[in-house]
Amino acid sequence: MTATTEFGLPTVVVTPGQETSTTMTVRNDSDIVEAYGFEVVGECAPWTGVEPARLSLYPGTSGQVTVRLSPPRSPAVRAGEVPLGVRVLPAERPQSVVVTETTVVIEPFAEQRAELVPERRRAWRSARYHVEVHNAGNTPVAVALSAPEADDQLTYTVADRPVTIEPGLRTELDLRVRVGKVLWFGKPVHWPLRLDGTATAGADVTRHELEGELIQLPVFPRWLLAVLAALLALLLAWLLLVRPAVRSAAREAADDRAQEIAQAQQENPTPQQPGGQNGQQPQQAGQQNGQGQGQGQQQGTGTGGGRQSSNTIEVRTDSGGRSVGAYTVPEGKVFRITDIVLGNHQGDEGVLTIAFGDRPITWIALETFRNQDYHWVTPIDIPEGAAVTATVDCTRSGTPASGQQAPNCFQVVNVSGELGDLPPDS
């Protein structure tokens, strides 16, 4: 051995971000003049240096060098005890290397960065956030989240237990915020968020105040309300104004058409009516594009000595054509009519004309009714040989409940009253 070394301090305490120094004594135990170089070994080597870098000593003499330690304030410099070694390298006798060691105590420091991500969210009622925490210190830290006491309008959901973060690492803590009530209509509501984060590193406790915002959106936006109001206004306008006007116009057009046909019949009576030039019976006349028939039944005894009678006339007519159905009063009888019922179950379009003998009773547009009835307090007498006729001018066949358009128009006329005998002197 050519040298003896010794540190001035058995233990060196360093603070990251600051410089600390100690001395090391070197003694030349050889019999020649020796020059010594120095090399730091171990974890402290990146931030430790020796001054001067070269020391020359005569035999039997000693000298001192300064060891400077400058640990950075970084998570890479972990808190705790680490060994420090300095290798002494003799220039003349390099095989006689000496290593001197001591202990370095690195003090802990705490440094964290906490951030609410994102700071602002839009939602109908609840939203999820996370708190991103970075441990920039050199010792593990336990992080816990807590929400300040608030009313029942906002509810915070955070982790139940603290989360430990090693030096230099990052972690995310989940957070959920919920609004107490749903916002159905109106403007968005801005809810401010406040959260406390506590970081504990040994005896060091650091508090972080986090702020953010939840923008609560209405379920139905304002523009949708405006659209619904406009649609409601249009619907009311249709029900109150347009629809009655359309129905009135259609009814007026049907009535005008019925009057035209009735006027034409009066000016040019058909030869098939009773008493015409051809002398045909009404139930056989006028069947150019269709057919009509009458069926009768008698029941009960009337107050005048006759019997109650009900007779049904069915008329089928091709579109664009005319058909006549009739019921003829039997010989020796008089038909006292009190009721008449009309049926247009297909919804056909055209004109129906009802006549008692040679007297037209009514003209009615088919499209204005499905079922219609007439009643008389004073009966209308129809003598023997006269007929109740139903004349149909079919414009267009309708669509019954089956959903398919009928091949032709079909009307039913039921005539009721008392069928009695003629007086002897008639």
Quick: pLDDT tens for 133-147.
999 999 999 999 988
Rounded mean pLDDT of 126-132? Answer: 94
Tokens standing for 192?
A: 């401010």
Main-chain phi, psi angles of 206, to 5 degrees:
-120, 135
Average pLDDT over residues 264-287: 43
Confidence tier at 236 by pLDDT (50, 70, 90): confident
Whose CA is closest to 343, among 377, 312, 297? 312
* Residue 21 pLDDT greater than 90, yes or no: yes
pLDDT at 1: 62
pLDDT digits (tens, 9 = 90+) for 66-75: 999 999 999 9
Measured CA to CA in angstroms, residue 221 lies from 26, 33, 52, 153, 231 at distances of 84, 94, 78, 21, 16
- Which residues fall within 8 angstroms of residue 100, CB to CB, at 6 or more apart? 5, 6, 7, 24, 85, 86, 88
In Å, how far are 353, 362, 411, 424 from 398, measured between CA atoms? 18, 22, 11, 48
Provide the 10 A C-beta neighbour count for residue 387: 25
Q: Is 206 helix (H, G, I), strand (E, B) or coil?
A: strand
CA distance 210 to 147: 10
Structure tokens at 394: 């079919």
Q: Residue 245: pLDDT above 90?
A: no
Kindly report the average pLDDT of the chain as a whole number: 84
Pick from 109-123, 164-178, 203-217, 232-246: least confident: 232-246
User: Which domains does the chain show, CATH number per domain?
Assistant: 3-106 (2.60.40.10), 112-216 (2.60.40.10), 266-421 (2.60.120)
The confidence score (pLDDT) of residue 255 equals 59
Lowest-pLDDT range, 75-79, 235-239, 370-374? 235-239
Average pLDDT on 158-165 reads 90
Residue 186 has pLDDT above 90, yes or no: no
| Distance between CA atoms of residues 106 and 12, nearest Å | 9
CB 392 within 8 A of CB 398: no
Q: Residue 148 and residue 176: Cα distance in Å, rounded?
A: 14
Contact 110, 130 (CB under 8 A): no
User: For residues 271 and 281, what is the distance between their CA atoms, to the nearest angstrom?
Assistant: 10
Tokens of 426: 């008639």
Contact 338, 375 (CB under 8 A): yes
In angstroms, what CA-CA distances link 411 with 278, 282, 307, 345, 354?
Answer: 26, 17, 26, 8, 12
CB contact at 8 A, 141 and 135: yes
Q: pLDDT value at position 341?
A: 93
Closest CA to 2 of 29, 24, 21: 29
- Rounded-to-integer distance, Cα 409 and Cα 314, Å: 11
Separation of alpha carbons 98 and 96, rounded Å: 7
Between 6 and 299, the more confident residue is 6
Strand order in the sheet with 333-343: 290-299, 307-317, 409-421, 333-343, 371-382
Q: Residue 263: which pLDDT band, with cuts at 50, 70 and 90? A: low
- Owner of token pair 């990146």: 46
Query: What pLDDT was estimated at residue 273?
Result: 39
Contact (CB, 8 A) for 59 and 28: yes
Tokens 């019949």: give the residue. 265
Predicted confidence at residue 270, as pLDDT, reads: 45
In this structure, are residues 136 and 108 in contact, taking their beta carbons and an 8 Å threshold?
no
Residue 208 has pLDDT above 70, yes or no: yes
